[in-house]
Structure 1
Amino acid sequence: MSNRSLTVLGTLLAIVAVLYACQGEEAIRKAQYYTNGQKLYAQRCQNCHGSNGEGLGQLYPPLSDTIYLAGNLNKVACMIKFGSNETIEVLGKIYDSEMPPNKDLTDQDIAYIMTYIGNSFGNELGWIKTEEVTNSLAACNKGD
């Protein structure tokens, strides 16, 4: 093998190693957020949305609609923090019960919960970063 071939091969191996390390870091962070989110979900969300995200009859929606969640991540962050009294449609059903606010949750807590919900109940949305939640909440235009 020529020196140039070895250099190219070495560069490619270095790139693969960096990509693998980044994916490893992301998987670790996702697992951390998921685990912390599971605990917070049990404390804050499970009473209304169920231990399996099944919801509560016609009162509270299930959390298994990946399409709704993926299309409304910003809105979900706002709902968790500030509550909601608007009508939503989830899995073809209308829900209009009020969701209470959780103003004492930090952006980090909400990212934990969203990562848990986003990767449970048949959802696979990946790691929801704290920065994403912070940006979503800033866009809510809600007062304290």
Structure 2
Amino acid sequence: MKIKFPLLLLVGFYVAVVSSCQGEGEMTYARYYSVGSTIYINHCQNCHGNNGEGLGNLIPPFTDSVYLHKNLAQLPCFIKNGLKDTITVAGKKFSGMMPAQSSLSPIEIAEVLTYVTNSFGNKMGLVDVSKVEKDLSNCK
């Protein structure tokens, strides 16, 4: 009986340590998502809403994962340079102007995109800073 308790304690400790460990990719995703949430609150939420619902016919929602997925390579450009074109999101046309967020760095854009593309019913995974940098270099 005396041997079982220390063994049980050791096994319990091992299980706790192993189950609490995350891989590097999971930790990167969690960090991007968390920081991206703060960036969203400070730069996006006022127009796009608390829940990414947009604003009627004026500002598009972030709840259309099809649009986000199809336009993922353009989203960094929209954020950095603003948007003046008409876009169609969830079957609705939006032609209002989105102001540029030129003060955001590529890593901040990657973080906010990770948040947006994994919130509001979306599940698209990590948007890596290297992808954002590549996409920014292709902005028109």
2:133 corresponds to which residue? Answer: 134
**Which amino acid is the alignment partner of residue 32 of structure 2?**
Y
RMSD between aligned residues: 1.2
Alignment partner, residue 68 of structure 2: 69
Structure 1 letter corresponding to 2:134: N
SS of residue in 2 equivalent to 1:89? strand
- 4+ residue runs over 2 A deviation: none
> Between the two proteins, what is the percent identity of the paired residues?
44
Please state how far the C-alpha of 1:74 moved relative to its aligned partner: 1.2
CA distance in 2, matches of 1:122, 1:77: 20
C-alpha displacement of 1:70: 0.8
Task: Report the Cα offset of residue 27 of structure 1.
Answer: 1.2
Q: Per the alignment, in what secondary structure is the counterpart of residue 80 of structure 1? A: helix
Identify the structure with the greater helix proportion.
1
Which amino acid in structure 1 is aligned with residue 23 of structure 2? G
2:112 corresponds to: 113
Could you list the runs of 5+ residues in structure 2 that have no partner in the other structure? 1-20
State the match for 1:8 in structure 2.
Answer: none
Cα distance in 1 for residues equivalent to 2:61 and 2:116: 10
Distance 2:113 2:35 in 1: 10
TM-score by length of 1: 0.81
Residue matched to 1:58 = 57
Shift in Å at residue 46 of structure 1? 0.3
* Separation (CA, whole Å) in 2 of partners of 1:29 and 1:40: 16
How much has 1:26 moved relative to structure 2? 1.1
User: Counterpart of 1:100?
Assistant: 99
Letter aligned with residue 49 of structure 1: H
- Give 1:25 shift: 1.5
Deviations 1:33-62 (A, max 9, x none): 000000000000001100100001111000
| Aligned partner of residue 68 in structure 2, secondary structure | helix
Distance 1:89 1:76 in 2: 14
Between the aligned partners of 2:60 and 2:122, the Cα distance in structure 1 is: 15
Q: Please, what TM-score do these two structures have when normalized by structure 2? A: 0.83
Partner letter of residue 41 of structure 2?
A
